[in-house]
């Protein structure tokens, strides 16, 4: 029989010692302390993020970065800044793959498709732009909103995206073509949208029973019919 309580006590003791090693003055980021921490914590169950340290810095933006997304496979990142600049990053090389200045106002949100082929940026210039992430080529412009576009999310199957705007509408777009599929005018100034795969939520179907959960400036959440 496995002594679960004993294992738990041993793990707790190992983490305590590793944490103390990392806090020895002058050795906080020493290779030995970081390696010990990685080795010990690799055996522990993942419950949440309590601490982190910088692995690399991606330099290039000249203005405050206000939106960032990382692809599910960890190969690409997409970032947008206060003045509308967008950068596509090759994370393996820790370098920009492309830099674009096509938006005319702040990039409020970005998202990446599950297959890492496409990135999308939502801007206060009232447009969305669909970026090919493989080569960082020119974007496809999605137009239709009449006010700030504040949020964007890609469906889990990668076949659609939804955008949220201060024009009090949500717009559903086809991927990768960018064709407008549907407009929801609900009277709210949307500042955020998130797509999920909660099987108990069937208010809005995109692909295989995804749902949209929405947040207005009052931080309340809804599904919608």
DSSP 22-34: HTSTT-TT-HHHH
Q: What are the C-alpha distances in Å from 182 to residues 115, 117, 126, 170, 177?
A: 23, 23, 17, 8, 14
Q: What is the pLDDT of residue 191?
A: 66
pLDDT in tens, 195-214: 665 544 433 444 443 455 54
| Residue given tokens 């108990």 in the structure block | 200
Rounded Cα distance, 129 and 67, in Å: 14
**Which has more confidence, 5 or 145?**
145
Question: Of the candidates 49, 52, 58, which has an alpha carbon nearest to the alpha carbon of residue 91?
Answer: 58
Tokens encoding 143: 């137009």
**Which has more confidence, 179 or 52?**
179
Rounded Cα distance, 113 and 132, in Å: 10
Q: What is the pLDDT of residue 5?
A: 42
Phi and psi (nearest 5°) for 30? Answer: -65, 145
| Residue given tokens 């890609």 in the structure block | 154
Tokens encoding 46: 């993942």
pLDDT in tens, 60-118: 898 899 999 999 999 999 999 999 999 999 999 999 999 999 999 999 999 999 999 99
Phi and psi (nearest 5°) for 20? Answer: -65, -40
Whole-model pTM above 0.85? no
Rounded Cα distance, 219 and 111, in Å: 21
pLDDT in tens, 28-51: 667 777 777 777 777 666 666 666
CB atoms within 10 A of CB 166: 19
The CATH superfamily holding the domain 65-222 is YVTN repeat-like/Quinoprotein amine dehydrogenase (2.130.10.10)
Q: What is the pLDDT of residue 11?
A: 65
Q: For residue 26, what pLDDT band results from cuts at 50, 70 and 90?
A: low
Tokens encoding 71: 């692809």
Q: What are the C-alpha distances in Å from 113 to residues 14, 158, 211?
A: 39, 5, 16
Q: For residue 181, what pLDDT band results from cuts at 50, 70 and 90?
A: confident
Q: Compute the mean pLDDT over every residue in the chain, rounded to the nearest whole number.
A: 78
CA atoms within 13 A on the CB side of 189: 5
Domain ranges of the chain: 4-41, 65-222
Q: What is the pLDDT of residue 217?
A: 43
């Amino acid at each position: 029989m496995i002594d679960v309580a004993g294992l738990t006590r041993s793990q707790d003791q190992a983490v305590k010692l590793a944490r103390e090693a990392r806090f020895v003055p002058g050795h906080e980021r020493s290779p030995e302390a970081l390696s010990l921490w990685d080795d010990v914590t690799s055996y522990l169950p993942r419950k949440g993020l309590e601490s982190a340290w910088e692995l690399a810095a991606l330099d290039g933006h000249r203005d405050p970065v206000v939106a960032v997304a990382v692809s599910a496979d960890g190969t690409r990142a997409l970032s947008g800044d206060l003045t509308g600049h967008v950068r596509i990053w090759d994370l393996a090389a820790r370098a920009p793959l492309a830099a674009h200045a096509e938006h005319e106002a702040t990039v409020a949100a970005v998202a990446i498709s599950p297959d890492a082929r496409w990135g999308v940026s939502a801007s206060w210039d009232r447009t969305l732009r669909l970026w090919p992430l493989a080569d960082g080529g020119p974007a496809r412009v999605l137009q239709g909103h009449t006010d700030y576009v504040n949020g964007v999310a890609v469906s889990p199957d990668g076949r659609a995206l939804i955008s949220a705007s201060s024009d009090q509408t949500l717009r559903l777009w086809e991927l990768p073509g960018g064709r407008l599929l549907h407009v929801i005018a609900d009277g709210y100034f949307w500042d955020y949208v998130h797509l999920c795969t909660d099987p108990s939520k069937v208010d809005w179907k995109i692909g295989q029973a995804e749902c949209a959960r929405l947040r207005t400036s009052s931080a309340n959440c809804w599904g919608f019919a």
